Amino acid sequence: MFSTLRSACVALALLAPAAAMAQSAQKPNILYIVADDLGWNDVGFRSKDLSTPTIDQLANDGAVLDQFYVQPMCTPTRAALMTGRYPMRYGLQSFVILPEQTYGIPLDEKLLPQVLKEAGYDTAIIGKWHLGHADTKLWPRQRGFDYQYGALIGEIDYFTHKVHGTTDWYRNNKKLDEPGYVTTLLGKDAVRYIEKHDAKKPMFMYLAFTAPHTPFQAPKEYIDRFKSIPDANRRTYAAMIAAMDDQIAAVLKALDKKGMRNNTIIVFHSDNGGVKSATFAGQIATSGDFPANNGVYREGKGSLYEGGTRAAALVNWPGRIKPGKVDQPMHVVDMMPTLVKQAGASLSGTKPLDGMDVWPTLSQGAPSPRKEIVYNIEMFRGAVRQGDWKLFWRTTLPAKVELYDLAKDPGETKNLAAENQPVVAELQKRIDDLAKQMAPSLFFQATFKSYMGRHVPGPVFPSPNDDAFFSQGD
């Protein structure tokens, strides 16, 4: 009896480390959630003005990223995430891809889903793409995603799924005509995907909500939750965020039920700051005041000030991410190499990355390896940060140079350029050097070609003479 018991104990002792090794060798699932035009302060873990209990719980149990930078607009940020490279390197640095434009993220760029798919991941995009829609070669299914559901462009009516009368709603390359509120449909589809997923295989899900991008629309039951908010746009905006939070809750519940939650890295952030200017509000008409709250940070979407580029962000992985605030600079380009390393994947075939592995910073709050933030480099403006010094340089006449000490002045209220000329000269040289590496803007090439030929019916988009677009920094 004792010998049998002893044999059983030995067997268990041998099995335990083997099981632990198998668990540690298992590739993590990745759930990457992006909100659209979400203000810095428009989450409950930053302000009690709005209700986001699910996002707040992820923040409380994970790392809140206080210096997480993105590009100032949608397409550039999503391109930076997918490539780990600054959009200026392949022509996506300016504005967004408009419905009538035919370009997209260049086909010679190897994207994050392609890298993860090669490492054995099931890859799914549920939500907004906005990296090329005019040619199927540019679509998600052709760029590494096994499964696709949602909008190819993104700014659509939340109930009809249309923009300018055209439906923008697809599943696996086939246009869909189905009823439902966009945010709810995306959440339900994500749940269905998880329920059907083979948990023995790692999953990468890119859950890209359109909320709370314009137009400001939400189901009545959500709007009624915020009757105490007097402003109609702010009330609906809050409802849109609450609907997104509810769908994230449903997705987390599905992960739990499937036994996947504890081995899932969750990243959440906005694609840019909240909208504060009509120039960047979108193509579907919106009236009234813009409701986003970017806290102490100046301006918002489209701007190279902090309000346009510092995003509400968090990362969560039970037992692997130390809870707390991480007040260290990092950029969305860092997410590709960071996640790829955690996935045990290879970056073979990618072009030289601008991103770097920031896992020790994300998981333990270690000092960031990133000493520089490149906000954006365009033909008419650029901004770069080194240490606490940030230089904004508008090159269109009348040119303007602004220098800020972000440690002392995060709201960018006091221009210190005049009394710090050596710093200005050094950072201007850095911007100019980066500009020499810049590919021509595909947006401006397409826009100029359009107006040189025939006027495109529809909204009037920014041109080189549009003061609101080109005078950022006044």
CATH of the domain at 154: 3.40.720.10
pLDDT at residue 4, rounded to an integer:
45
pLDDT at residue 306, rounded to an integer:
98
- The pair phi, psi for residue 211, each rounded to 5°, is -75, 145
Q: Are residues 228 and 358 in the same domain?
A: yes
Q: Are residues 205 and 79 in the same domain?
A: yes
pLDDT score of 388 more than 60? yes
**Sheet harboring 29-35: ordered strands across?**
174-175, 170-171, 147-150, 122-127, 203-208, 29-35, 264-270, 313-316, 63-65, 324-326
pLDDT tens, residue by residue, 365-381? 999 999 999 999 999 99
Q: Are residues 269 and 415 in the same domain?
A: no
pLDDT at residue 12, rounded to an integer:
40
pLDDT score of 384 more than 90? yes
- Average of pLDDT values for 51-59? 97
pLDDT at residue 469, rounded to an integer:
47
Q: Are residues 67 and 210 in the same domain?
A: yes
- Average of pLDDT values for 290-298? 96
pLDDT at residue 472, rounded to an integer:
54
Q: Are residues 95 and 124 in the same domain?
A: yes
pLDDT at residue 253, rounded to an integer:
98
pLDDT score of 417 more than 50? yes
Is residue 4 domain-resident? no
pLDDT at residue 285, rounded to an integer:
60
pLDDT band of residue 25 (cuts 50, 70, 90) is low
pLDDT at residue 121, rounded to an integer:
98
pLDDT at residue 23, rounded to an integer:
37
Q: Around Cβ 316, how many Cβ atoms within 10 Å?
A: 24
pLDDT tens, residue by residue, 67-94? 999 999 999 999 999 999 999 999 999 9
Cα Rg for the chain, rounded, in angstroms? 23
Last residue of a domain, which of 345, 371, 397?
371
Is residue 9 domain-resident? no
| Whole-structure pTM value | 0.91
**66/23: higher pLDDT:** 66
Question: Residue 304 to residues 110, 212, 308, 358: CA-CA distances in angstroms?
Answer: 27, 21, 6, 23
- Which of 126-130, 273-277, 460-464 has the highest mean predicted lDDT (pLDDT)? 126-130
Residues 446 and 441: their CA atoms lie apart, in Å, by 9
Is residue 14 domain-resident? no
pLDDT band of residue 11 (cuts 50, 70, 90) is very low
- Average of pLDDT values for 155-176? 95
Name the active-site residue from 74, 133, 161, 213: 74
- Average of pLDDT values for 173-179? 96
pLDDT score of 6 more than 50? no
pLDDT score of 16 more than 70? no
Is residue 94 domain-resident? yes
Among candidate residues 301, 318, 387, 444, the one with its CA nearest the CA of residue 67: 387
pLDDT band of residue 22 (cuts 50, 70, 90) is very low
pLDDT score of 276 more than 60? yes
Question: Residue 114 to residues 33, 170, 228: CA-CA distances in angstroms?
Answer: 18, 20, 46
Residues 205 and 91: their CA atoms lie apart, in Å, by 26
pLDDT tens, residue by residue, 427-471? 999 999 999 999 999 999 998 887 766 554 444 334 333 444 445
Lowest mean pLDDT of 222-231, 275-284, 413-422, name the range: 275-284
197 is catalytic: no
Quick check: 134 and 100 in contact, CB under 8 A?
A: no
pLDDT score of 122 more than 80? yes
Q: Are residues 320 and 274 in the same domain?
A: yes
Last residue of a domain, which of 371, 405, 427?
371
Number of domain units in the chain:
2
pLDDT at residue 355, rounded to an integer:
98
Name the active-site residue from 9, 130, 133, 213: 130
- Average of pLDDT values for 392-406? 96
pLDDT mean across residues, the chain: 91
Q: Around Cβ 123, how many Cβ atoms within 10 Å?
A: 25
pLDDT at residue 283, rounded to an integer:
67
Q: Are residues 282 and 415 in the same domain?
A: no
CATH of the domain at 446: 3.30.1120.10
Last residue of a domain, which of 317, 343, 371?
371
Question: Residue 79 to residues 7, 124, 263, 345, 359: CA-CA distances in angstroms?
Answer: 57, 16, 27, 20, 21
Is residue 93 domain-resident? yes
pLDDT at residue 154, rounded to an integer:
78
Q: Are residues 277 and 403 in the same domain?
A: no
Lowest mean pLDDT of 74-83, 103-112, 218-227, 280-289, name the range: 280-289
Q: Are residues 296 and 329 in the same domain?
A: yes
Q: Around Cβ 154, how many Cβ atoms within 10 Å?
A: 27
Quick check: 305 and 412 in contact, CB under 8 A?
A: yes
Q: Are residues 319 and 395 in the same domain?
A: no
74 is catalytic: yes
Q: Which domain holds residue 421?
A: 374-463
Is residue 291 domain-resident? yes
Is residue 470 domain-resident? no
Q: Are residues 328 and 402 in the same domain?
A: no
Q: Which residue has the tokens 């939340």?
A: 158
- Which of 134-148, 276-290, 457-471 has the highest mean predicted lDDT (pLDDT)? 134-148
Is residue 364 domain-resident? yes
Lowest mean pLDDT of 2-16, 83-97, 406-420, name the range: 2-16
Q: Are residues 277 and 192 in the same domain?
A: yes
In the chain, the percentage of residues whose pLDDT exceeds 90 is 84
